[in-house]
Amino acid sequence: MNGPGHCPDCRRPVLWTRTEPGVSTEGGKRLAVDPTPNPDGNTAVDRDGTGRYVSRRVTEERPLWGPERLHMPHPATCPRRQTQIALPQGVIRLADHRRKHRP
């Protein structure tokens, strides 16, 4: 599944993405993100050449760029999982950075 869908746990609308390989992850996994971009999120979402949604963790080394949009990973907001998952420390806020660099 890729694109708009629903969380199997809480039934809220989500955007299904495929993760890109990262520094410590292989990628290729499914990740649900909240469908509305969120400056407090830590996941960059973009579409690949075939129109599929792909996502990756935003880091200081690889900040948000180009057409990417910042989203909150759904497991961080899912009411069914709220107690299990917290955003890792060191997640950087990009809202100010983006405002500065956008025309």
CB nearer to Zn ion: pick between 76 and 78? 78
By the criterion CB under 5 A, which residues form the site for Zn ion? 7, 9-10, 78
CB nearer to Zn ion: pick between 31 and 78? 78
CB nearer to Zn ion: pick between 7 and 31? 7
Q: Rounded to whole angstroms, how far apart are CA atoms 65 and 10?
A: 31
In a 13 Å sphere around the CA of 11, the CA atoms on its Cβ side amount to: 0
Q: Cβ atoms within 10 A of the Cβ of 15, count?
A: 20
